[in-house]
Amino acid sequence: MTKQLFIFLLLSFFIENALIAQNNQWVWMKGDSSLTSTRSGVYGTQGVPSALNRPGSRENAVTWTDASGNFWLFGGEGFTETDSYGNLNDLWKYNPSTNQWTWVKGDKIKNVFGIYGSVTVPALSNKPGSRKGAVSWTDASGNFWLFGGEGYSENHGYPYLLNDLWKYNPSTNEWTWMKGDKINNVNGVYGTVTVSATLNKPGSRSGSVSWSDASGNLWLFGGYGFPETSSYSYLNDLWKYNPTTNEWTWMKGDKIIGVNGVYGTQGVFAAGNKPGSRQQGVAWRDINGIVWLFGGEGYPETGFYGYLNDLWKYDPATNQWAWMKGDKTTGVYGVYGTQSVPAVGNKPGSRYYATGLSDASGNLLLFGGYGYSETDYAYLNDLWKYDRATNQWTWMKGDKTAYGASVYGQQNIFNTNNKPGGRRSMAVWKDAIGMFWIYGGNCNELWKYDPILNRWAWVRDYAYEGFKGIYGTQGVEAANNKPGSRYGACEWIDATGNLWLFGGIGAGGMFADGNLNDMWRLNLSTNQWTWIKGDSIADKVGVYGTQGIFAVANHPGARAKAVSWKDNNGIFWLFGGNGYSETDQGYLNDLWKYDPAINQWAWVKGDKTTYINGIYGTQGNQSSGNKPGSRHGAVGWADASGNLFLFGGEGNGEADFGYLNDLWRFNIAAGQWTWMKGYKYTNSSGQYGVKGTANAANTPAGKFEATGWTGNAGNLWLFGGYGNDISGFTTGSQNNLWKYSISNNEWTWIKGDSGSDSASIFGTQGTSGNAFNPAGRQAAKGWTDANNNLWLFGGMPHSSSSFYNDLWKYNATTNKWAWIKGATTSNFNYGQYGTIGVPSPQNNPGGKTNASVWRSTTNDFWLFGGYGIGTSYPAITEGNLNDIWKFSPCTAELSITPDGGNFCFGSSILLTVSGGSGTYEWYKNGILIPGVTGTTCDATSSGSYYAKSIVGSCTLFSNEVILDPGTTPPALGGSGVYCLGNNVNVGIPQTEVDQIYLWRQNGAGAYGPIGGNGGNQSLNFNMTESRVGTYIVESTQPGCNTVYSNTVYVGLAVVNNLATVYICSDGVTFNWKRTAPINISQSYHYAVTQSITPPDNGTVTNDSIISVGSLSPSTQYYIHARATCNFGSSYGDWSTISFTTTATGGPCEWIGAANTDWFNPQNWKCGNVPTTTSEVVINGGRTFYPNVTSNMTIKKITLNSGATMQVAPGVVINITSQ
């Protein structure tokens, strides 16, 4: 049958809604575009105090306190005025009375070289270089002293270790370089222990501890730096500096690095005792002049360095150390006991970068650092007091776990709940009335602690990347009002089209990030916000009142990632989230309703506490006792009857915690929950079933931060989220799309993958297609348009801290996604804001996650806030946002209808477009077809066709029609050699649904004809000898010619007709019949033995005629042969025959069975290759004749009729007896 090419019609792509004017364009409507940060410094005018001034966030700075009680701050590592991060040399003064900072001296840029001037000569131009990890003292005259650190010397362009000593006179505002070097990385000059000398000097170092004595001498211990001769590491040397003589004295310790401690007997001074080498410990001097040292990073009694919690005291009078408390090892967890209760067994965990001061009684107050809590290690916020008299520690405040969160409370108000969050390397002061002040620690917050009240107060500043809210007057609309930056808020739209916003994580009316419970309304007609209800500060607990009763004082606790709905009566509903209950913080399951008409909340159902397990009852049965467990990141819908539906999230199942896939319905009229679908346990991999087919057993996997829609047909839709994939062993971001039918209570897996972290398949922008799909993502936002299309924006992949800003549309009728706008990656997708209120094709929000979204009554989409990226300036790349955007989609759509279905080569098909107006443009393969401007186009050749029309302000593209080559030749597989009984699959992996298939064996029909199903179709059989042969599939399509597959060859692993060809006195030649087609590689095993039992293995060959020599005369032998199958991995049965060699030999006869090689045994009768005494006979009628390529000697040679023989040039055959 002749093979012919034909064309068929494939409706595969929609190119929809590409805009040239206002439609399908983003408009930045309100809010802020560029992220700001309060972590950068505000310097003001040098020398002039201001309420607006503030140092940038920093750590490892140094401090002093002057005689007037002002606090002074120098350098460290942190942020400049322009939010650039590096080493600093700015000098600040803080006045506690006025709560104002003054920038006194130094630079407001990073990484500045020092100006040293002349040693001991003050000058206004002098200044230390930028540095961190220095130490400081105040002398009896009120001068400030500064030593070492890691930073910039006079001209070295990289921060190294320093040993320069500086004095600052606050009265003259001048620095003086007093001693040390103006270069980096200098070794120490130790001299003689306890003997001062002009040349003595400590080596360059950072992270030391320091104090001053009653005589005004300055003391220095340890750090990380240079000893006497070697390179840098941990030190334990003790130095004293006399300001009067300007000389250093090495007092104690070692002049080498990495020294282990000598602890001695606890509580006993001894000359041999010494702390191990260390950096970033804490030291203080008590009222008796005794010096105390705690922790740091360094060397214990034995072994390598780590975090320490040992406590030492040093007596300058005896120059001896005593180990007082703590451990002689590293990495020790804290023992906290009961807060405010001292105990012998209490002890802080090992740590470094902590901060400490002595109280009025000389006891140590120790705060924070980086190290070990009760159970883990990281940034700490625990506050401890050590009583010298009792030698006991007391845990006073803060958390006994790492990463403790800040609780700010009201500014400048002490409260028992207040606490700074976990931090390290803070600056510290003590004021005249004994208050303990801390600043920074990689932030710029200022806190004070009252040791008598045992309470913290947040004083000022907050390092925050985003925008605080401007609340105005509650209930009063104003142009300046705006919610603070946030993500994970809830949203509603009221009957008049106003947008409502509740809660989330972000900034309230001050820069204090946390969970929010403020409620806002945006009037779309005036584009102005109103603060309606709730609090203007973060982290407020709920006021529940009486269940079911509205009250003015009621309000939900601050929370984020809750679920919200609006019922048919215009009531707003709120469920769960992560935030505050009546008394604590965590995952919630409380259900609230809000009536906009009376501006009041009512607590409807659920619990007033956190982390509550669900009560499921019987699936499908409503009950007053039922309730979902606490959760956040769930998805919610409202059906046409006003019932509330809730799916998944992360939280509590019936008895465990994890990712949920339970589906619940809340009946508003009955006030009861029903568990509808899914499981009572967490982390399920779901039941996907068959894509596109509903089934009662189907259910999505456990997941949170999925995206949900309500379709106009009343179905609930679910996309993506983070959770378990189908394997049950892998979690990740998903891109599967599900539909839930309320009418039959069944899920259908519609589209996307059953695995995790799939990449996007974009196609051409605006074009839909079967293969196109958004990437796996979580925390994206979705909405439904007037045409029942589902829209998806943004989100994030779980595998990186990056954000999508792509916009997708899903057409439920065609089951296809189209990429509409945005970037094709998730990396650094900055927003393109344009001008407020002005649409532009270039406008696009930055990548973001957990935003809030509404669809207005005019079918516009509104997007607010989220966590992500604003513009590319300034340097802050991500944070909480408060920008609000509007997107106006095109509603008209073009559609091409073909006149008929398939057609063959040489014919044509008429394409008709509808949905546009006026004239059209038709395109083939992206090129305009001249002269075709109507609603029809006669397509006569293969290619891609689409139409274009302008409808209002929208430029529309139709679906794309692809005319491809017709009946597709099948790709047939299954060639091979099979053992008897093996299963053989002669199959087509992918069939076409509109083609008919017939299998033929050796030309005769063997299977079919059958229709294609779009999947695999196969001829399957168990191998027998009758199945040996060639297979081919012919395929037809109505009205078109037949096409054929490739040929498949099937062989049987069997040895037939095994027989001897020649028998000699010392060899044998035998053969068998090859059963496999010659197109298939076939191998065999053979052996010649004197045993009738076949061997385990034989010699491998691809030939079917074999010669074997070196046998004995007049002896019985057995020939064994078998065929291999399954590409050599298995074998058929052995065949065996016997023979007896002859008594005497004969001539060497050439049979030419293998090739022309003279020396190949397979070419000689019985495998006997001639020797120097052989008589050779070459007969005619052979397949191959010899080609002699090297010299040889034989006795005699006979070439009979028809035989030939070739001898290569220069080759000599020596015949000895011819």
Query: Is 56 or 468 the better-scoring residue by pLDDT?
Result: 56
Q: What is the DSSP string of 374-414?
A: SS-EEEEEEEEEEETTTTEEEEEES-SSSSPPPB--STT--
pLDDT at position 40 over 90: no
Most confident range, picked from 549-558, 886-895, 1163-1172: 549-558
pLDDT of residue 1076: 75
Residue 901 has pLDDT above 60, yes or no: no
DSSP state, residue 776: P
Q: Looking at the predicted structure, is the pLDDT value of residue 402 above 60?
A: yes
Q: Please report, for residues 66, 433, 890, the alpha-carbon distance to residue 956 in angstroms, rounded to integers and kept in the order given.
A: 73, 75, 8
- Fill in the amino acid letter for 653: G
Is the pLDDT score of 680 beyond 60?
Answer: yes
Q: What is the pLDDT of residue 36?
A: 66
Using the predicted structure, report yes or no on whether residue 8 has a pLDDT greater than 60: no
pLDDT for residue 2: 29
According to the model, what pLDDT value does residue 1015 have?
80
Q: What is the pLDDT of residue 966?
A: 63
Which pLDDT value is given to residue 566? 92
Q: Following CA atoms 986, 989, 995, 1000 in sequence, which dihedral angle do they give, to the nearest 10 degrees?
A: -10
* Cis amide bond preceding 596, omega within 30: no
| Residue 1191 one-letter amino acid | N
Per-residue pLDDT tens digits for 245-293: 999 999 999 999 999 999 999 999 999 999 999 999 999 999 999 999 9
The Cβ of residue 304 has, within 10 Å, a number of other Cβ atoms equal to 10
**Which tens digit of pLDDT belongs to each residue from 543-586?**
999 999 999 999 999 999 999 999 999 999 999 999 999 999 99
Q: Give the residue-averaged pLDDT of 943-953.
A: 81
C-alpha of 804 from chain center: 13
HSE-CB for 941 with a 13 A CA cutoff: 4
- Mean of pLDDT values over 1062-1078: 87
Tokens of 921: 């443009």
Residue 746 clears pLDDT 90, i.e. is over it: yes
CA distances from 866 to 785, 800, 863, 1010 (A): 22, 17, 9, 55
Residue 12 has pLDDT above 60, yes or no: no
Q: What is the pLDDT of residues 218-253, one digit of tens each?
A: 999 999 999 999 899 999 999 999 999 999 999 999
Contact 969, 907 (CB under 8 A): no
Q: Which of 465, 348, 462 is nearest to 411 (CA)?
A: 462
Beta strands at 71-79 and 62-65: parallel, antiparallel or unpaired: antiparallel
Tokens of 919: 């004239």
Q: Any idea which of 354-358, 800-804, 1050-1054, 1062-1066 has the lowest mean pLDDT?
A: 800-804
When mean pLDDT is compared across 498-502, 604-608, 1037-1041, the lowest value belongs to 1037-1041
Is the model more confident about 1080 or about 910?
910
Higher pLDDT, 1166 or 1095: 1095
35 pLDDT band, cuts 50/70/90, is: low
Three-class secondary structure of residue 637 per DSSP = strand
* 905-964 against 1053-1145: fold identical: yes
- Chain-wide mean pLDDT for the chain? 90
CATH homologous superfamily of 905-964: Immunoglobulins (2.60.40.10)
111 pLDDT band (50/70/90 cuts)? Answer: very high
What is the rounded distance in angstroms from the CA atom of residue 144 to the CA atom of residue 131? 16
pLDDT at site 445 = 87
* Domain residue ranges of the chain, discontinuous segments joined by +: 113-130+142-259, 486-888, 905-964, 980-1042, 1053-1145, 1148-1218
Backbone angles phi, psi at 1165, to 5 degrees: -55, 125
Q: What is the CATH number of domain 486-888?
A: 2.120.10.80
Q: With 0-12 CB in 10 A as exposed, 13-18 as middle and 19+ as buried, what is 1206?
A: exposed
Q: How many CB atoms lie within 10 A of CB 1165?
A: 23
- CA distance linking residue 311 with residue 286, whole number of Å: 14
Q: SS3 for 58?
A: strand
Assigned token pair, 863: 């997007």
Tens-place pLDDT, residues 773-791? 999 999 999 999 888 899 9
Residues in the chain: 1218
* Token couple for 1113: 């005369």
pLDDT band at 453 (very low <50, low <70, confident <90, very high): very high
Tell me the longest C-alpha to C-alpha distance in the chain: 131
Question: Which range has highest mean pLDDT (66-70, 390-394, 815-819)?
Answer: 390-394
Q: Are strands 209-212 and 954-957 parallel, antiparallel or unpaired?
A: unpaired
Report the alpha-carbon distance of residue 120 to residue 176 in Å, rounded.
Answer: 6
Distance, CA of 69 to CA of 49 (rounded, Å):
16
Q: Token pair of 348, please?
A: 């802080």
CA distance 1034 to 1006: 11
pLDDT over 90 (residue 39): no
* Residue 302 backbone dihedrals phi, psi, to 5 degrees: -140, 160
Q: Which CATH number fits domain 1053-1145: 3.30.70.3170, 3.60.15.10, 2.60.40.10, 1.10.3470.10?
A: 2.60.40.10
Query: Amino acid identity of 927?
Result: I
Q: What is the per-residue pLDDT across 505-536, written as a single tens digit (0 to 9) for each?
A: 987 755 457 899 999 999 988 999 999 999 98
- E strands present in 467-623: 486-487, 490-493, 499-507, 513-523, 528-533, 559-560, 563-566, 572-580, 585-595, 600-605
Residue 82 has pLDDT above 50, yes or no: yes
Quick check: 365 and 357 in contact, CB under 8 A?
Answer: yes
Sorting pLDDT into bands at 50, 70 and 90, what band is 18? very low
970 cis-preceded (ω within 30 degrees of 0): no
pLDDT tens track for 470-513: 899 999 999 999 998 899 999 999 989 899 999 999 877 554 57
pLDDT given at position 943: 80
Bridge partners (DSSP) listed for residue 439: 427, 446
3-state secondary structure of 1165: helix
Give the model's pLDDT for residue 1039: 67
* Choice among 530-544, 807-821, 864-878 with the minimum mean pLDDT: 864-878
Q: What is the pLDDT of residue 916?
A: 82
Integer Cα distance of 505 and 539 in angstroms: 9
Q: What is the pLDDT of residue 485?
A: 87
Phi, psi of 815 (to 5 degrees): 60, 45
Residue 7 pLDDT grade (very low, low, confident, very high; cuts 50, 70, 90): very low
Confidence band (pLDDT; 50, 70, 90) for 903?
A: low
| pLDDT exceeds cutoff 80 at 376 | yes
> How far is the C-alpha of 59 from the C-alpha of 132, rounded, in Å?
8
For residues 308 and 878, the model is more confident at 308
Q: Report pTM.
A: 0.63
Write down the pLDDT at residue 904: 59
